[in-house]
Amino acid sequence: MTTLSALPERFQKITTEIKEQQQLVKKLHKAEEKAYKIYVRARAKLMSKKHQDLQNNEAKKWYNFWVKSVAELQSLIDQIKQEEATLYDLEERRVDQVTQDREKFESELLQH
């Protein structure tokens, strides 16, 4: 299989950008999953009779975790949408470059 370094530099650059963007999206998904787990745990704690009185300091703590996790989830989902759109644009740009390269390379091959 041909290595990436054998391809034109623009392909190397866009492929690197795509890999970096994929890592960013993956990181955001992990953060979203963690925030969701905190949400579930805090909600479960608040459902217990022990933590239903919000005058109780422990209940307040779990309530604050719960509220914070909801806000964090909303923020992360917005970020994920934005970063996935950027990733899609990069992949689309690479496809366009590959298509153009194919046409150019094919015409060069046919001239020989």
Number of domains in the chain: 1
Whether 10 maps to a domain, the answer reads no
Whether 38 maps to a domain, the answer reads yes
Report the Cα–Cα distance between both ends of the chain, in Å, rounded.
Answer: 24
Handedness of CA 32, 37, 41, 46 (dihedral sign): positive
Question: How far is it, in rounded angstroms, from Cα 35 to Cα 41?
Answer: 10
Which pLDDT score, from 0 to 100, does residue 30 have?
Answer: 98
Count CA within 13 A, CB hemisphere, residue 28. Answer: 18
Per-residue confidence band for 3, with pLDDT thresholds at 50, 70 and 90? low
Task: Kindly tell me if the per-residue pLDDT of 61 is higher than 60.
Answer: yes
Per-residue confidence band for 108, with pLDDT thresholds at 50, 70 and 90? confident
Whether 7 maps to a domain, the answer reads no
Whether 65 maps to a domain, the answer reads yes
Per-residue confidence band for 55, with pLDDT thresholds at 50, 70 and 90? confident
Whether 47 maps to a domain, the answer reads yes
Residue 98 belongs to domain spanning: 21-111
Which pLDDT score, from 0 to 100, does residue 5 have?
Answer: 58
